[in-house]
Amino acid sequence: MLKSCDTMVAIPGTTTDHQMIFAKNSDRPAIECQPLVQHERKSHLAKAMAKCQFVQIPQTPTTYRHVGSRPYWCWGYEHGFNEHQVVIGNEGLQSKNEEFDSPKLIGMELIRLGLERAKTAAEAVEVMTGLITKYGQGKFRNDQGVRTYDNGYIIADPNEAYVLETAGHEWAVKRAQSAIGISNVYSLEKDWDTLSPTAVDGSKAHGWWSGESNRFNFAEAYSREADRSVGSGAMRRLRSCAVLNQYSGDINVQTMMALLSDHSDGKTPNEPFQTNLPHGSSICIHHNDDGGGGNTAASIVAHLCADGSQLPVYWCSLYSPCLGVFLPMFIEGDLPSVLAIGGEYLSDDSPWWLFRQLSLAVRANGADSIASVRAGWQDFQDSLFASAYEMAKEGKTLIDQGRGAEAKKHLTRYMDENVAVMLGMVRQMLSDARTATEIAAD
Ligand SMILES: [Zn+2]
């Protein structure tokens, strides 16, 4: 199964408070744990190399402080953010390229490299496209069992957002002009702003582009899907674009969270978002036993800030958003280290594995149990909305006053307290759900 994901961005003109909001659901194989890790800013020696999984590339003098949502086995991330408010998320794409024999970068590694090396979205685009041209990415043979694919990205900072789509060593970039979503389908057709130097000639050489049309069509030349309006990825992209368009001018963090938790597969007619599109897959792909196998492993809604009035707030969900909670994270503090725990096998000290167990237990119990867990999170989520923006303002004031160390302590303690509450709640909900299962079985 090709991985499925959805990434969205609402640029300043489309949001209620005129700030950039970025959102992503990371959909991965059902039992692939995806912890949340933080790395400090680091200086590197002149001849150091960045050791990615299959290729090594020259290291940069400084890698920036950043946070990434990381499949447990991977050096790279599904999404992440850095100390300069650069946020990046990716999508799996299928190009016409045959599998390469030579090793390349993994698409998720490019996210980390962009976060480590860029102070703005435009800089991240430059870093990532430079690396793609030189080292390539996409489908390549490997003996480590890593599923490889081409990638699409949204790269945002407080002022600008870009869509970057790739095929092997080729790429196209477009600056976002409205609130948009991307999914597992190429979206840059003739409307690109910049192309890789060999995108046109390379596709002509393969016979994928005749050169007759007056403007090169990147998706037509490189997409394996000839019809990019059908299939799950196409339906999810149309749906996120339609909803964002419908709410344009009035989009806030809650809109994005609701969209990430959307179940528009036709089984739930009371969905908050209604469009006149045919029902396709949900945006939220929680694990279910009726065949899918994929699962939204983690989500983010990044609420950036261009005017310096507050700190950016990164709302992170550690499992499927429809049965969990979005916790506010502040990169100016130290993220609770428990969030980074989790590996290949089930462990009760890993928040990700706790949420997975909760999800399975609750779904086995049925609709009432699902409703009770959602209601259980709602009060906590509401209290977080209230406290997070106070913290965002207080933290910014302290930093502006040169009291950075105090701000860091304050924000760290706030995140620790929230995670402790969340872990207590998830353990209690899990215990309740298991008791309910036992009662039903008696
Ligand atoms: Zn769901």
pLDDT in tens, 296-344: 999 999 999 999 999 999 999 999 999 999 999 999 999 999 999 999 9
Same domain, 301 and 393: no
Are 168 and 280 in the same domain? yes
Q: Long-range contacts for 332-335 (Cβ within 8 Å, ≥24 apart)?
A: 332/83, 332/395, 332/399, 332/404, 332/407, 332/408, 332/411, 333/395, 333/407, 333/408, 333/409, 333/410, 333/411, 333/412, 333/414, 333/415, 334/38, 334/408, 334/412, 334/415, 335/36, 335/38, 335/67, 335/415
* 339 and 403 share one domain: no
130-186 pLDDT per residue, tens = 999 999 999 999 999 999 999 999 999 999 999 999 999 999 999 999 999 999 999
Given 293, 310, 343, the domain boundary residue is: 343
User: Token pair for residue 65?
Assistant: 């402080």
Q: How many angstroms separate the CA atoms of 122 and 130, rounded?
A: 12
- The answer as to whether 62 is a domain residue is yes
Q: Where are the alpha helices (DSSP H) in 82-231?
A: 107-117, 121-135, 199-205, 218-222
Which domain-ending residue is among 296, 327, 343?
343
Residues 171 and 157: their CA atoms lie apart, in Å, by 20
Structure letter (DSSP) for residue 279: P
Compute the distance from residue 56 Cα to the ligand 1 centre, in Å. 38
Residues 419, 273 within the same domain: no
Distance from the alpha carbon of residue 262 to the mean position of ligand 1, in angstroms? 7
Alpha helices, H only, 24-117: 107-117
- Based on the structure, what is the number of domains in the chain? 2
Among 5, 74, 284, 316, the active-site one is 5
Query: Residue 44 corresponds to which amino acid?
Result: H
Q: Does the annotation mark 241 as catalytic?
A: no
Q: How many CB atoms are located within 10 Å of the residue 320 CB?
A: 25
Choosing from 343, 378, 402, the residue where a domain stops is 343
Q: What does each of the 442 residues of the chain score in pLDDT, given as a tens digit? A: 456 799 999 999 999 999 999 999 998 988 899 999 999 999 999 999 999 999 999 999 999 999 999 999 999 999 999 999 999 999 999 999 999 999 999 999 999 999 999 999 999 999 999 999 999 999 999 999 999 999 999 999 999 999 999 999 999 999 999 999 999 999 999 999 999 999 999 999 999 999 877 899 999 999 999 999 988 899 899 999 999 999 999 999 999 999 999 887 767 667 777 777 776 778 888 776 544 567 899 999 999 999 999 999 999 999 999 999 999 999 999 999 999 999 999 999 999 999 999 999 998 898 888 889 999 999 999 999 999 999 999 999 999 999 999 999 999 999 999 999 999 999 999 999 989 888 877 7
User: CA–CA separation, 319 vs 330, rounded Å?
Assistant: 19
State the distance from the centre of ligand 1 to the C-alpha of 375, rounded, in angstroms: 15
Ligand 1 midpoint to CA 285 (Å): 5
The answer to whether position 359 is within a domain reads: no
| Buried/exposed code over 163-188 (b: 16+ C-beta within 10 A; e: otherwise) | bbbbbbbbbbbbebeebbbbbbbbbb
Pair 175, 222 in one domain: yes
Query: Residue 25's beta-bridge partner residues?
Result: 6, 299
- In this structure, the answer to whether residues 44 and 79 fall within a common structural domain is yes
Residue 409 is part of which domain span? 367-441
CA distance 44 to 62: 6
Q: Which of 212, 213, 217 is nearest to 187 (CA)?
A: 217
User: Closest Cα partner for 262 from 181, 343, 168, 366?
Assistant: 181
Residue 37 located in a structural domain: yes
Measured in angstroms, how far is the CA atom of residue 380 from the centroid of ligand 1?
19
Q: Is 273 helix (H, G, I), strand (E, B) or coil?
A: coil
Residues 243 and 392 in one domain: no
Considering the domain architecture, whether residues 419 and 339 belong to the same structural domain is answered as: no
Residues 330 and 381 in one domain: no
Rounded to the nearest whole angstrom, what is the distance from the C-alpha of residue 359 to the centroid of ligand 1? Answer: 10
How many of the other CB atoms lie within 10 Å of CB of 201?
A: 11
> CATH code at 67?
3.60.60.10
389 in the same domain as 324: no
Query: 228 phi and psi, to 5 degrees?
Result: -95, 25
Distance 144 CA to ligand 1 centre (A): 31
CA 391–ligand 1 middle distance (angstroms): 29
Q: Do 376 and 273 belong together in one domain?
A: no
Q: Is residue 348 part of a domain?
A: no
Q: Is residue 105 part of a domain?
A: yes
**Measured in angstroms, how far is the CA atom of residue 301 from the centroid of ligand 1?**
16
Question: Is there a single domain that holds both residue 274 and residue 411?
Answer: no
Distance 202 CA to ligand 1 centre (A): 41
Q: Say if 351 falls within a structural domain.
A: no
DSSP string, 383-409: HHHHHHHHHHHHHHHHHHTT-HHHHHH
Number of C-beta neighbours around residue 90 at 10 A: 29
Between the CA of 284 and the centroid of ligand 1 the distance, in Å, is 4
Residue with tokens 């979206």: 187
* Inter-CA distances, 410 with 39, 44, 413, 417, Å: 19, 30, 5, 11
- Residue 232 in any domain: the answer is yes
Give a yes or no: residue 98 inside a domain.
yes
Q: How far is the CA of 296 from the centre of ligand 1 (A)?
A: 8
> Whose structure tokens read 């703005």?
120
Cα 261 to ligand 1 centre (Å): 6
Report how far ligand 1's centroid is from the alpha carbon of 320 (Å). Answer: 6
Q: What is the pTM of this model?
A: 0.96
